[in-house]
Amino acid sequence: MISPADAIQRLQEGNQRFIGADGALDATANRLHQPDLVGGQNPFAIVLACSDSRVPTELIFDQGAGDLFVIRVAGNIVAPSQVGSIEYAATQLGTRLVVVLGHSDCGVVIATLKELAKKEQHRSPNLRAIVDRVRPAVEPILAACGDEESSQVVAEAVRANVRASVGRLLHGSLIIEHLIGEGVLKIVGAEYSIETGAVTFLQDD
């Protein structure tokens, strides 16, 4: 299995191909169906991404079947099922990189900001469970800025939510903590721009 640093580089190179439309369409099509994968999988990265239909995870990294272990949930939140999925991929498949991928104009983040500003309430307990996981990350930003409709507030809230999810993964599982302590696993945050198609990694923030 490739190292976390090499996995990040591979994702960055794939994203550059996606932005420049330089991906070989025939090669990508050939990778989509691979009968030899019936024997097992060997993904080089785990991506916890938002369910937003504008964020097609494999496409934006120009990867094919078997390359990424993708977990999608609204707001790229961390709940027990996501933690368990990451534990599985890291321990059973040997994948060494986890990317928490947020994106610009995230609907869940915007809905949370509106609820905090008392402009919207979610009557569904299921949707509220998602909003409540985003709330702690974005509350300080809204308190400091006071305008939930500001593009800057939304952008900062999206990044704060990514960092919060990274933090929950870093400290929410003894298995994951052990793998990180052993230098086997790395967890980083990233943001996808719907406007430009670019993915920015946040590990240096």
Judge if pTM exceeds 0.85. Answer: yes
Of the listed ranges 31-40, 146-155, 174-183, 187-196, the least confidently predicted one is 31-40
pLDDT of residue 30 exceeding 80: no
* Per-residue model confidence as pLDDT tens digits over 94-136: 999 999 999 999 999 998 888 887 766 666 788 888 888 999 9
Q: How sure is the predictor about 201, in pLDDT bands with cuts at 50, 70 and 90?
A: very high
pLDDT computed for residue 204 by the predictor = 53
At 205 the pLDDT is 46
Output the DSSP codes for 68-134. EEEEE-GGG---HHHHHHHHHHHHHS---EEEEEEETT-HHHHHHHHHHTTS-----HHHHHHHHHH
Task: Report the C-alpha gap between 75 and 182 in whole angstroms.
Answer: 29
Q: What is the pLDDT of residues 152-171, one digit of tens each?
A: 889 999 999 999 999 999 99
Could you give the domains of the chain? Answer: 4-201 (3.40.1050.10)
The yes-or-no verdict on residue 31 having pLDDT over 90 is: no
Neighbours of 142 (CB within 10 A): 20
